Amino acid sequence: MNKKRLAVDMDEVIADAISRFQEWYGRDFQLELTREAMHGKRLVDAVAPEHQAALRAYPSTEGFFRDLPVIKDSQEVLAELAQRYELFITTAAMEFPGSFLDKYNWLQQHFPFISWRNFVFCGDKSILNADYLIDDNAYNFDGFRGEGLLFDAPHNVHETRFRRVHNWREVADILL
């Protein structure tokens, strides 16, 4: 029996990068960047124009991706999904080439049941050959031939074209 393929994005799906943006923004500007302020906006549009360059630079800064918090329930649900699906972590790391080692090490630490052979560092996710893609950015579903599941995030609240999942328990309900 052939298993179906499941591709899972990393940032804002299993790794909480928003919390790092909030942490560093607070450190650098002594201001709070709230999820409410991000509601329906790109992250850089949630801050003052004079702070936008700093926010854009954060993901290119060494260590940004090193020790991100794990999204609640993702480890447990992905461990179950790995029993039923051919599971791949697919991150568009090409935008931030300095993130490769941190992302690789983070995956090894938090998801040791996923083989390094199933880590896909790419730019355009339309190249993926999978039955499902779980991602927080709807543009990654453009050209993707499987079913996209949009993982809820502040920046995508107004997106209505794709089936939305709010957390990993909802993913489990759908795919398990």
Q: How far is CA 20 from CA 9, 11, 23, in A?
A: 17, 11, 5
124 included as an active-site residue: no
> Which entry of 11, 102, 135, 136 is annotated as an active-site residue?
11
What strand order describes the sheet that includes 119-121?
Answer: 119-121, 85-91, 4-8, 132-135, 147-151, 163-165
Six-digit token pair at 22? 């909030």
> Which entry of 9, 102, 135, 136 is annotated as an active-site residue?
9
131 included as an active-site residue: no
Nearest to 166 by CA among 149, 142, 147: 149
Residues taking part in catalysis: 9, 11
